[in-house]
Amino acid sequence: MKVLLTHAPFNYPFTRLLLCRPHFPIILLLLLISQIEYASDVLPSPNDTDRFKFQKDDPILAQMDSLDVVNFFKRHTFTSDVNKLNIYNYPKDSVPVFSDEIYRQRLQKLDRMSPFSLDYNDDVRKYIELYAVKRRGTAARMLGLAELYFPLFEEVLSRHNMPLELKYLAIVESALNPTAKSKAGAMGLWQFMYGTGKMYGLQINSYIDERCDPVKSTETAARYLKYLYKYYNNDWQLALASYNAGPGNVNKAIRRAGGQKSYWELREFLPKETGGYVPAFIAVNYIMAYHKEHNIYPVKPRYFHYELDSIYIKRHVTFKQISEYLKIPVEELRILNPAYIKDAIPESENGYPLFLPKTLIGDFIANEKNIYQYLLAEERIQIPVVDTTQKSITPPLATNTKEIYHTVLKGEWLSTIARKYNVTVQQIKDWNHLSSEVVYVGQKIKIIQGTGTSEPITQAGIETQYYTVKSGDTLWSISQKYNTSVENLRKWNNLYDGKTIQVGMKIIVSKS
């Protein structure tokens, strides 16, 4: 899903071709004029301030990106038009059912083209009828989601020299739901348990669960399946069984079966779920190939694989910031970026990927700094109005207080709650006897309003004023105390390129 982006128009083959033509001077002049227009072409700010003007993407690059999509549509054959797909002229509500002999013949045809043993028996028939009769709507949605995920799966499997039919395993595991969670705690498209995910290098913490990252989890699944295939002497059915139940349970089943290593002979000794795992995999192979014969057609997905791209983010940013600035719903950001638990991308030296529609990648890059600094609507309401003509800023100490309780919502953490109530993270931790900054959805957090600050903030009347960073401080909270902007704090203290504040650091907070 990730495509290397370039923002130098002369790197594009189409432009290089134009430059080789005799009318090169005219083309060059037009390019220069468009660049001048682009530099001055800005839209009103999301929060009506000059500081956060929204800049359009480079129009030349945007046009070239659009050509990629147009060219793809010429090759892409996907359609959800039932009139075109219904080649057997079934009535709309028809549910075809076929004989055992027809099912067997169709699977034999698939088997000749597959490295898997696509056997047919009563158990396989039960799963075929599950997808083709009882779960027809689910099968239609999975056919649509295949347009989003299968190109990624096939790319990874091909790179590892693995059978492309393994892409169907994700349907058995998660029905192509990237946030699916099993009763046992397995997560993601490929349903990794916590221990297996950590063993293969997937990052799992309070903010990120890479088991839900389509790209990284698919890479991990390919590596794990390759290991299991070699472990069981190139037997794909045993490899699939051990992917579901774990090698330990498969090895126990082999011992209980007296050393037999055929999956069908081991089934009665395997966990109940694993006993249906291979039949379900065979049935998915069948229904994906013969869905038209069963009057099942794909539901068009919100996005196709080719419509998405990624960019790496090194600074903390929330989905709400991106949503308000780029006008994309938070729910869509969640769907495209399922690995981020708290609707936010944390700060990182190496960066984390943000997946967006290709049409928004250029806008994000053009406005990246402003998006990081963008203050959400609810936070702007909380900013106190301070008389900037005064030589000192002394917040009044509390004369009375009251306790309230805040229920933690999805996407919130202590720093956002602290900003909402104009208190510090450390105060919240003290009031609630918290040893860490981890909170949970639904947790009740005590807030004492009217507490003031532990020490007045004063200005000595000199040109530059300093402040010593305390535990729980953020650039936002400090900017609010001193009636300045985060950008000023970064500029005065050279807080760029990943640099941030630390407890005990003295920073400049005001300049006359």
407's enclosing H/E stretch is: strand 402-407
The token pair that represents 228 in the structure block: 């299991």
Tens of each residue's pLDDT in the chain, 512 residues: 443 443 333 333 333 333 344 444 444 444 444 444 443 334 344 444 455 566 666 565 555 554 454 444 444 566 777 888 888 899 988 999 999 999 999 999 999 999 999 999 999 999 999 999 999 999 999 999 999 999 999 999 999 999 999 999 999 999 999 999 998 899 999 999 999 999 999 999 989 999 999 999 999 999 999 999 999 999 999 999 999 999 999 999 999 999 999 999 999 999 988 989 999 999 999 999 999 999 999 998 888 998 999 999 998 899 999 998 899 999 999 999 999 999 999 988 889 999 999 999 999 999 998 888 876 665 554 444 333 334 433 344 344 567 888 888 876 778 778 777 878 878 888 888 887 677 777 788 888 876 443 333 333 344 578 888 887 788 877 877 787 877 788 778 777 655 678 777 888 888 75
Domain 82-294, CATH among 3.10.450.230, 1.10.620.20, 1.10.10.10, 1.10.530.10? 1.10.530.10
Rounded-to-integer distance, Cα 50 and Cα 207, Å: 33
φ/ψ region of 98 (left if φ > 0, alpha if ψ in -120 to 50, else beta) reads beta
The reported pLDDT for the residue numbered 393 is: 38
Q: From the candidates 129, 147, 165, 173, which is the catalytic residue?
A: 173
Q: Angle, nearest 10°, between helix axes 358-366 and 319-326?
A: 100
CATH number of 400-452: 3.10.350.10
Amino acid residing at 164: L
The reported pLDDT for the residue numbered 232 is: 95
* Chain centroid offset of residue 289 CA: 29
Rounded-to-integer distance, Cα 462 and Cα 175, Å: 65
The conformation of residue 130, written as its DSSP 8-state character, comes to I
DSSP secondary structure string for all residues of 179-211: T-B-TT--BTTTTB-HHHHHHTT--BSSSBBGG
DSSP secondary structure string for all residues of 424-445: -HHHHHHHHT-SSS---TT-EE
Helix (H, G, I), strand (E, B) or coil at 352: strand
Closest CA to 15 of 62, 56, 60: 60
Rounded-to-integer distance, Cα 291 and Cα 171, Å: 15
The reported pLDDT for the residue numbered 108 is: 97
CATH 3.10.180.10 fits 384-395+458-512, yes or no: no
Rounded-to-integer distance, Cα 161 and Cα 155, Å: 10
The answer to whether residues 213 and 221 touch, using CB atoms and an 8 Å cutoff, is no
Rounded-to-integer distance, Cα 397 and Cα 394, Å: 9
Q: Which residues contact 368 (CB under 8 A, 6 or more apart)?
A: none
The reported pLDDT for the residue numbered 53 is: 65
The answer to whether residues 163 and 115 touch, using CB atoms and an 8 Å cutoff, is yes
Do domains 384-395+458-512 and 400-452 share one topology? The answer is yes
The reported pLDDT for the residue numbered 378 is: 55
The answer to whether 324 is a known catalytic residue is no
Residue 331: burial class (beta carbons within 10 Å; 0-12, 13-18, 19+): exposed
Rounded-to-integer distance, Cα 465 and Cα 164, Å: 63
Closest CA to 7 of 372, 487, 368, 305: 368
The token pair that represents 264 in the structure block: 């069908």
The conformation of residue 422, written as its DSSP 8-state character, comes to T
Question: What residue spans define the domains of the chain?
Answer: 9-75+306-373, 82-294, 384-395+458-512, 400-452
**pTM for the whole thing?**
0.63
